[in-house]
């Protein structure tokens, strides 16, 4: 058996023997759907200066620039579809192996792959809709885009007059408390933590695998490159995500 085949069979064994797994995903799972990794060389943040949360709330120009970028698809999200990796995760959720998917991604591809909202914990928000910064009411992007593109209208909340912003967490914006708490609870309750497509460098997210291990859970790391937490893992797979997970889980 080749090393890769052995690793996949070992991954399959770990999944089969666990009772409650948590999947944690980062940009790596979505690059296989054609979504660029923002932080990588050549990624979005090397082309655009991020708009800080403080600037969004204080400057109309910054808000205009933020919506302009979103609607000319500067971030490359438009038309992206879930790939084999997302489908494998969705199957694990469907059969009850995985209790929650914690994600750093904002592309909505876990939802699109069939996992219900209640099974997904988004640490950095969601790029596929908008919400009011004051009352949190959700707004769909279609009508906002229409008004912005045709008349340059910047969206304001109908209910409270607050600023409406894309539902991602911007640089400088506080991490939302509720998802962080849910992620912590799920991490403490799992017996297998699967970190997929994340370099595990950004805190607080990078703390979850360590919490899981300290609590006695197994740790799987599936990522293109090595990570700082590799030595804590039961198995490290520096392999393509879709084919590896697809083979381990039996999904095409
Ligand atoms: Zn509002």
User: If you measure from the C-alpha of residue 206 to the centroid of ligand 1, how many angstroms do you get, rounded to a whole number?
Assistant: 32
Given a cut of 80, whether residue 78 has pLDDT beyond it is no
Residue in the block written with tokens 């090595």 = 226
- Ligand 1 mean position to 52 CA, how many Å? 20
Distance 117 CA to ligand 1 centre (A): 22
Place of tokens 């893992």: 233
pLDDT of residue 203 exceeding 90: no
* Cβ pair 205, 169 in contact under 8 A: no
Return the percentage of the chain with pLDDT > 90, whole number.
83
131 CA to middle of ligand 1, Å?
Answer: 8
Greater confidence (1 vs 222) lies with 222
Phi, psi of 183 (to 5 degrees): -65, -40
Cα of 156 from ligand 1 centre, angstroms: 8
Q: What pLDDT digit, counting tens, does each position of 137-159 carry?
A: 999 999 999 999 999 999 999 99
State the catalytic residue, choosing from 124, 148, 179, 205.
124
Its pTM stands at 0.92
Mean pLDDT of 212-216: 98
pLDDT value of position 7: 95
How many other β-carbons are positioned within 10 Å of the β-carbon of residue 201? 12
pLDDT of res. 43:
58
* Strands across the sheet containing 125-132: 138-139, 125-132, 164-168
- Residue 160 has a CB neighbour count (10 Å cut-off) of 12
**Residue-level pLDDT at 205:** 76
pLDDT for 188 beyond 90: yes
Query: Which pLDDT value is given to residue 10?
Result: 96
Phi-psi map region of 193: left, alpha, beta (phi>0 left; psi -120 to 50 alpha): beta
pLDDT of residue 44: 59
Q: Respond yes or no: is residue 86 known to be catalytic.
A: no
pLDDT tens digit sequence for 88-137: 999 999 999 999 999 999 999 999 999 999 999 999 999 999 999 999 99
Give SS3 for 147. helix
**Residues contacting residue 173 through CB under 8 Å, at least 6 positions apart:** 53
Distance 53 CA to ligand 1 centre (A): 17
Ligand 1 mean position, distance from CA 166 (Å): 13
* Tens-digit pLDDT profile for residues 173-185: 988 899 999 999 9
pLDDT tens digit string along 15-69? 999 999 999 999 999 999 988 776 665 555 566 788 999 999 999 999 999 999 9
Please give the average per-residue pLDDT across 198-215, as a whole number: 91
């Amino acid at each position: 058996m080749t090393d890769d085949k052995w690793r996949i069979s070992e991954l399959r064994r770990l999944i089969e023997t666990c009772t409650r797994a948590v999947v944690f995903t980062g940009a790596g799972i979505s690059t296989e759907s054609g979504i660029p990794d923002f932080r990588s060389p050549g990624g979005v943040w090397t082309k655009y200066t991020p708009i800080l949360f403080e600037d969004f709330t204080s400057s109309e120009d910054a808000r205009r620039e933020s919506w302009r970028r979103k609607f000319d698809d500067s971030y490359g999200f438009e038309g992206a579809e879930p790939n084999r990796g997302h489908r494998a995760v969705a199957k694990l959720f469907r059969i009850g192996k995985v209790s929650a998917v914690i994600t750093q991604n904002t592309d909505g591809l876990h939802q699109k792959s069939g996992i219900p909202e209640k099974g997904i914990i988004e640490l950095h928000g969601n790029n596929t809709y908008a919400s009011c910064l004051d009352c949190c009411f959700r707004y769909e992007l279609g009508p906002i885009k229409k008004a912005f593109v045709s008349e340059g209208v910047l969206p304001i909340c109908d209910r409270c007059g607050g600023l409406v912003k894309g539902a991602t967490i911007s640089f400088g914006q506080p991490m939302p408390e509720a998802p962080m708490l849910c992620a912590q609870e799920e991490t403490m309750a799992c017996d297998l933590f699967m970190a997929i497509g994340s370099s595990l460098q950004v805190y607080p997210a990078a703390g979850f695998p360590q919490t899981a291990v300290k609590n006695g859970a197994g740790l799987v790391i599936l990522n293109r490159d090595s990570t700082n937490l590799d030595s804590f893992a039961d198995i490290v797979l520096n392999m393509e995500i879709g084919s590896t997970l697809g083979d381990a889980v039996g999904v095409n």
